[in-house]
Amino acid sequence: MADAGLQSVHRRIEEESKPISHVLRWFCAEPDGDISVGEIVGRLGPRAFGAILFLFSTPNLLPLPPGSSTVLGAPLVLLAPQVALRVKAPWLPRKLARRQVKTPVLAAFSRRVLPALERIERVTRPRLHFFFGPVGDRLIGLVCSLLAVVLIFPIPFGNMLPAAAIGVLSLSLVQRDGILAILGYALAAASAGVLVLAARIVVHGVQQLLSFVGAA
């Protein structure tokens, strides 16, 4: 009995140490049907925060129907602050945890993402550890929280940089790779720059329109 319990612990430790790509393949190998968000979180184990942020952010890099970024961004707005607050395990409202995701949808997403993800996993490793820990993880969670707020707004072509930044930063959490963290922060800075520039263009356009109307 004790041996069986020990073997179960060893199997769980081995499963939890496998990369995100392995878990995605496991989801895709399931029979056609639905899988709940809660089951996905449970399967991801201790990598849940980084992996979930990755899974909900990266689809925004693919062509999606209008409004999809708002649906995908909602869990990010809820979970990213939990990283900043150093919550031990992801908390999801019961309604969200019970929400079903169709396995064929996961399979279609995985076919697009897995090749690049597996290449990244092969070349990344734990390094530059000062980017992580109590302060580093909180900073990543804070940056992802701010970017997630941007994602929930349906901005045409304005969600790709924030989504890429969250995807890279979340993957850095899983891999504990400081090089990925640097790249993620660079993408976050670029995203902020693009948003500021877009805001200035909009404000300038409004001012020009008001001037034209006033002159008329």
In sequence order, what are the beta bridge partners of 101? 35
Is 90 exceeded by the pLDDT of residue 165? yes
Rounded CA-CA distance 129/127 in Å is 5
- Structurally, the chain folds into a number of domains equal to 1
| Average pLDDT of the residues of the chain | 77
pLDDT digits (tens, 9 = 90+) for 97-129: 787 777 776 777 777 888 888 888 888 889 998
Task: Answer left, alpha or beta for residue 39, where phi above 0 means left and psi between -120 and 50 means alpha.
Answer: alpha
Confidence (pLDDT) at 172:
93
Tell me the residue range of the domain where 106 lies: 2-215
Q: What is the pLDDT of residue 12?
A: 42
Q: Taking a C-beta distance cutoff of 8 angstroms, is the pair 152, 70 a contact?
A: yes
Position 10 pLDDT exceeds 50:
no
Q: Name the amino acid, one letter, at 130.
A: F
Least confident window among 14-23, 82-91, 111-120:
14-23
- Whether 144 and 166 have beta carbons less than 8 Å apart is answered as yes
